Amino acid sequence: MTTIQAALSGILLGGLYALMAAGVSVTWGVLRIINLAHFGMILLGAYLTFELATAWRVNPLVTLVVSVPVMFVLGGALQWAFDRLRVSELNSLLITFGVLIVVVQSVSNIWSADFQRMAAEVNPYATESVRLGRFVFPVPTLLAFAVALLVIGGAHLVLRRTFIGRALRAYAEDRPIAAAFGIDHRRIGVLLAAVTGATAALAGMLFSLANALTPATAFEWFGTVFAVVILGGIGHLVGTLAAGVLVGLLSSVVSVVLSPATAPFVLFSAIVLALILRPQGLFTTAGAHR
């Protein structure tokens, strides 16, 4: 029974992992930007939720009214700068890591390096849960999974069914040809990056509902998020959701059956095997895109 509970909880937690990874996956797959600054935006979104809820007594969910527009503008501004400076894929890794360091240090200067957590009186979701028979599901993980389904499912439909989505996919496949057909790659690239910034605000808010925050938390996300991106297939949104569920399931079950210390070993062993056997990702086929 404990293993089943862990598996179900891990699946729900995988929704948060997928939401964190979606922005990294899409910017890498479509814009050819390895955006480590995305982790900083998630962190900043989490701290904005903490600050607004703690100092202003705003419901944590309502803080999205502030954090989403801020991260939307920040994400778009970063892409605008990358495009104007003609940043290459490799250089983007170095530059965005520098931006991440700046964000982490700024957060540390403003909120200190101490652990920060929203108190129960301003964050009722932290202690709420839903019981189904013998199984108990915390509300924050249920919210994270539901939001991940809505956001990733909606983004997948946009990419498949709308002109902007088709333009983005064409740009990702062949930039010169897409430009020759009149696709304004700069404008849609900025829009895409801005939207991924908004998803970072969502992920940050959801993370802060159930977890304590420190500036160094951003670095702790690296392994899990990149595991989801690689296993799901770079730029493949549905694969990212499936990989997030798989990573959450695997980590939770291994932590219960063996030990929490063993979970990273198993997870990264799976990544190595995936890179060898399925370099295009577990949930996509060779040559497939998004």
pLDDT in tens, 93-133: 999 999 999 999 999 999 999 999 999 899 999 889 998 88
| Domain contains 265 | no
Q: Residue 200's pLDDT band (boundaries 50, 70, 90)?
A: very high
Count of positions (residues) in the chain: 290
| Domain contains 86 | yes
Hey, what are 123's tokens? 């964050």
How many other C-beta atoms are found inside a 10 Å radius of the C-beta of residue 105? 12
Is the pLDDT at 182 greater than 80? The verdict is no
Q: Residue 1's pLDDT band (boundaries 50, 70, 90)?
A: low
Q: Is residue 55 left, alpha or beta, with left meaning phi > 0 and alpha meaning psi from -120 to 50?
A: alpha
Overall number of domains in the chain: 1
Angstrom distance (rounded) from CA 147 to CA 33: 25
CA atoms within 13 A on the CB side of 24: 33
Strand partners, 131: 136
| Domain contains 20 | yes
CA atoms within 13 A on the CB side of 267: 28
Range of the domain at 90: 2-215
| Domain contains 128 | yes
Q: Residue 281's pLDDT band (boundaries 50, 70, 90)?
A: confident
Long-range pairs for 277-280: beta carbons < 8 A, 24 or more residues apart: 280/233
| Domain contains 85 | yes
| Domain contains 30 | yes
Q: Residue 266's pLDDT band (boundaries 50, 70, 90)?
A: confident
Cβ partners under 8 Å of residue 256, min gap 6: 2, 3, 6
Range with the largest mean pLDDT of 2-6, 15-19, 230-234, 262-266: 15-19
Instruction: Provide the whole-model pTM.
Output: 0.93
Is the pLDDT at 289 greater than 70? The verdict is no
Q: Which of 15-19, 42-46, 141-145, 262-266 has the lowest mean pLDDT?
A: 262-266
Mean pLDDT over 136-163 rounds to 92
| Domain contains 147 | yes
Hey, what are 256's tokens? 């219960």
| Domain contains 256 | no
- Report the chain's mean pLDDT, rounded to a whole number: 90
Phi, psi of 215 (to 5 degrees): -55, -35
Hey, what are 129's tokens? 């849960």
Angstrom distance (rounded) from CA 236 to CA 152: 10
